[in-house]
Structure formats: structure tokens, C-alpha cells
Structure 1
Amino acid sequence: MLELHGITKHYGARKVLDDVGFDVSPGRLTGFVGGNGAGKTTTMRIVLGVLAKDSGEVLLGGSPVTTADRRRFGYMPEERGLYPKMKVLEHIVYLARLHGFEKGDAATRATALLEELGLGERLHDNVETLSLGNQQRAQIAAALVHDPEVLILDEPFSGLDPLAVDVVAGVLQARAALGTSVIFSSHQLDVVERLCDDLVIIAGGTIRAAGPRDDLRAQHSTHRYELVSSGDAGWLRAEAGVEVVDFDGGYAVFDVDGDATAQRVLRRAVEQGDVASFAPQHPTLAQIFKEVIQ
């Protein structure tokens, strides 16, 4: 497990990270979200040893992260970092060789990874001839080619079309399933919500929320319910303790003043006609984000 405890960082008199702490667990995808300037990239660079922290600890397996540990990390920066004149396969093989793989093994794993990322037909093209989205895929391959124990990605879905997002998401999920600790930042909250097991929200250099996605959604849930029935749900408007938010015949979204009211509404809905569904509505990540950063 990768652990951050009490990380602080100043640029001159300005404190950009203030007591930042969270965990990135093996076999799980952790989404790291925040606005521009919130501290995401600075945090990642401290984990990687690119920036020095002012105080705090970065631990791997309970011990301080060493230079040797960081060789088992994979990193994809937000900025393009590939050599534009090199061929795609040649480039990824070169990076695998830098990690100590023999030429044949490096070529095999680089080819398989690029094909998995949908670049099988572009192996022998120069990097500079690729679209921005395909360059992004190649950069992800560069971060993955040595099978890292910890994978850190800064905006991996930037510039990708929806099909490419699905491809990359599948690759990351497959790596997590093998036990890799994966953390990535993204401004695409819908992708983060769909993909991640755990979430970390940062704003103004402080962690505003962190934990399993479903736990955070439950913590920030309101007493809002959705009813779908075969009858007319207009009777809800006259129910005590109920405020209708959306209504269309047998469909209604409404707030209640407590669990007892919700149970009373459910009993009456059953009496009124066939109930197709009755369930609490959980907030989206975008809603949670807006709530915790205010």
C-alpha cells in the first residue's frame, strides 16, 4: 500500500499542500480529483521524488519510499514526454530496456501492451505522426511497460474520444486486478465515478474527502428517493413530510424528512399500484465535489 501522511509543501510564503494524507491500495483504482491549482500534480511529484516535501511521510508497505522503490513505480505526466522522431514500438522497447529487460522480452511486452491499447497498427509510425489521443495511449504504454507496482497517471484520459477512454479504462482495470496500486487525476468526473474504487478530493492544498466511492456517496446522500410505478404518483404531493422534485405520471423523484416517511410512502405506493422500483438516489461525484470544496 502507498501511504501519504501529513505532506506539506511551500513555494516561498505560499503553502500549496497542507497536511495531505491518503492511501492508495493494491488492486484498487483511486481517483484523485480537484480543480486547477488544487495540488494534485504537486502531490504526485512528491510521491515520485521529483519535488521535495517540507514535512510528512510517503510510505510503501509501511516503510519510507526509497529510490529503489520508485523504480517499481510507473508515471505518466500530463505533459507530453515522448521522443517525437522515434517509432512507437522502438520507443516503448527502449524504455523497457532501461528498466532492465532483455531486448527480446522488451519487444514482446511492448508489442503486446501497444496492441492492448489499440496501437497495433501504428507500431512502426513515428510518435510525432500520431494524433494527440494516440500519443496519449503511447504515453500510458511507457508508464506500464515494466509492470509497475504503483501506477501514477496525471490526466490519462485527456484528449481521448469515448472509445479510447473505454480502452484505456479497461487496461487500467486489468492492471489493478493483478494487484497494482493505481492512482490517477482527472477533470472528467463522470469517468472517475464510473471507474474508481476509491476517491480523493483535494482543494486549496487540503484533502476535503477520501475513501471508498460508495462510502462517500452514502455519507453525502440526502433523503431523496425515486419511485417508478404503474399508477399515477400525483398523490405524493399531498403526503406530509414529502417534497416532490420531479414528476411524470408514475415516475417521481422526491425528498422526505426521514426514514419513517420514506417507509410510509413505500407502503402507500404499493397500495396504489404495481411498484417497479423504489430506491434512494445517491449523489454524483460532481455533486459531492461541489459540496466538499465550498
Structure 2
Amino acid sequence: MNFPCSSARRPVLMGVVLLMPIVILIILGPLFLPNPLEVNVENALQKPSLEHPLGTDVLGRDNLSRLCYGGRHSFFISLAALAGSLLCGVGMGFLSGWLEGWGREIIDRILEVVMCIPGIILALILVTFLGKGETSIVVALTVGGTVYMARMVRGLVRLNKGAGYILAAQVSGLPKWRIIGFHLLPNISGPIFGYAVVLAGVNIMAESGFSFLGLSVQPPEPSWGFMLYQSRNYLTTAPWLALAPGTAIFITVLGFNLLGDGLRGWFDPTRKCGAGVGGRTIGQCTFGRQGVKY
């Protein structure tokens, strides 16, 4: 597969550049850093130094170590919720888009009802029944992501099931399972994948918000949102406590957004490279395996 033009290449490369250091730090950092739960009051609120590159918190715990372990929790919750959203959302969206009659109406009404429930209210309801912790937040993010994923897939299926290539496959007598598996799904998988990458960043931001409210990862385990919560009283005396997790959240979410936007441009053969004012095309670019040029 040829790599897309610069209009899609730049966001992908920028997203990778932003995310790669975060991922490497999360994976390899704990192998060389001290225990994030080790309390040493004598080292409390130390400024960044060679021994503690991001300083220490109010209990003397290494801030860089807590940032790495907190990132592990954030990424795990985000990816677990994303997997659930993909599994449920793609299935419900496909059924809603492909079916006709009462079956589609039931799925559409369910999606509309769930969409009317604010995310924080849904999280509070789940916390009431499941208790505080990662499980409740994973379920809440999964439900929220499922709704938006299903609506997007539903639109893609309805848009493509009347397309010429689907009608040609039906006229040729191909069975439905072959039309769906070998024609429809490959043509809508690109936008789904791009949106899933963006949703991963949205989940991390949402999980950080829930952690800030004390609903997600419970202390003494570190999390980016809870680190922000603990730093709220030290913004003037120890600004590094808030700067580290805040910057990590910002870079991670921005990286996922850029990566997802670039991947959507990569997989979407209708996007024209170098399109100027009025839809004019400047230069040429090759998309996908079929070598469609603009």
C-alpha cells in the first residue's frame, strides 16, 4: 500500500512523534524508576533534579515514576473501553444500517436513549452498583463509545449498501455473507479504524476526568487525573506536580487526534491531495492498493 500524500502523511507522522515517547516511557520507565508508592516525607515537594527529573510530591514519591505507572492505568482503561466499543458498536451499527423494519427501529431507539444520558451520570450510576474503580469506568466508557461508534457505522452501512458495487454484487448472485464480508466491510473499515484511534484519545481524557473526581483508579495507585487532583493546592509552590500529568494528557490526546485524522485521510480514497480553493487539485497522489490517482 502506497503511503498517502503529505496532507495525510503529516498528521500521521506528528501523531507518532508525539505518542512514541509517551509509550516508550510507560513501557520501559518502570524498569529503571523507583517504586511510585514508596513514601519518603523527607524528600517531599523537591524540585526537579537529576535524582528526580520531575520532582517529588507531597509524600516524597518520585513524580516521574508515578507518571509512568499512571499512564499504564490510563492506557489500559482507554484500550479496554475501546475494544468493547468496537465489538458492540460495530455490531449494533451494522445491524441498524443493514436491517429494515422493526429490527432497525429497536436498535435506533436504544442508541438514542443511551445517548441522552450524560457520561458523568452514567458513571455515577455504574459506581453505585459496581463500586469505584477501573471496572466501572471501563464499562461507562464502553457504553459511551459504543453509541458514537454505532451511529457512525450505521451511517457508513446505509451509505454504502445502495452503492453500485454492492448492487452489482447482489445482481451477480453472491450470497449476503460474501457481500458483507468481502465487499462492504473492507470499504468501511478505514473510517472505523481512524475513528477508533481518535476515540482512544477521548477515552484517556475522559478517564483522567473521572480520576480527578475520584471515580476511577483508587489511591495509592497513581493515575494522571488523580495526580492533577492532588496538585491543585500546590499550583504556586510546586507547579511541577500539575505540569507533568497535564502535559502528558495534552500530548497523548493530541497525538491520538492527529494520528486518527491522518489515518482517515490514508484510508479514504475520496480525499484529494493538495486540493486548493474551489476544489482544484494540485499535484498527484496515490491512495490505497488500487492506485487511485487525483
Is TM-score (shorter-chain normalized) higher than 0.5? Answer: no
Give 1 or 2: higher helix fraction: 2
**Could you tell me the TM-score, scaled by structure 1's length?**
0.27
Higher relative contact order (CA closer than 8 Å, sequence separation 6+): 2
Give 1 or 2: higher strand fraction: 1
